[in-house]
Amino acid sequence: MKLANSLITAGLFSSIAFSALPLGIANAQDTGKKVILSPNAPNPIGPYSQAIQVGKTVYLAGQAAIDPKSNQPMVNASIEDQTRRTLDNLKAVLEADGMTMDHIVSTSVFLKDLSDFGKMNEVYATYFKDAPPARATVEVARLPRDLKVEISAIAVRP
């Protein structure tokens, strides 16, 4: 155990090897998890939660342009409208846990066509005016329900 602690301190231990160690070594966060569900966001289309809170961190599942009232995808909508609906869905999940978009520290944006980046980015910027979160944006071959954009996020309580 001393060797493992020394390797962790030295930064020489890989995350795979670290995950095999007993939880007591470096468990910095509460291990209890809470499911967050908003009636103002689309129902999950699979076996997952809209969001999970662990300690002060909230992990938001990917949201897309699905109308929360009808649960129908906005397949024929523009990338701007799909981005707006997607971000509104994320916002609704956060609000169900008393949080706002300002609590988001990281997002992952998945685009069906990277040439839509500029248009998506214009809408995205209106949701994150001050201290926007870290972000990764990637093009993917296909998204659920043939939508143009999906966004997942991580938020942290102060």
List, for residues 101-110, the tens digit of each pLDDT value: 999 999 999 9
Which pLDDT score is estimated for 9? 41
In the chain, what percentage of residues exceed pLDDT 90? Answer: 78
Phi then psi for 65, rounded to 5 degrees? Answer: -80, 75
Residues 40-62 have a mean pLDDT of 96
Q: What is the pTM of this model?
A: 0.80
pLDDT computed for residue 82 by the predictor? 98
Residue 31: the pLDDT is 66
Confidence (pLDDT) at 5: 42
Q: Whole-angstrom Cα distance, residue 104 to residue 97?
A: 13
Task: Quote the pLDDT of residue 154.
Answer: 98
CA–CA dist 31, 26 (Å, integer): 12
Contact 32, 54 (CB under 8 A): yes
Q: Is 22 left (phi over 0), alpha (psi -120 to 50) or beta?
A: beta
Mean pLDDT of 52-80: 97
Integer CA distances (angstroms), 15 to 7, 57, 69, 98, 125, in order: 12, 20, 41, 32, 33
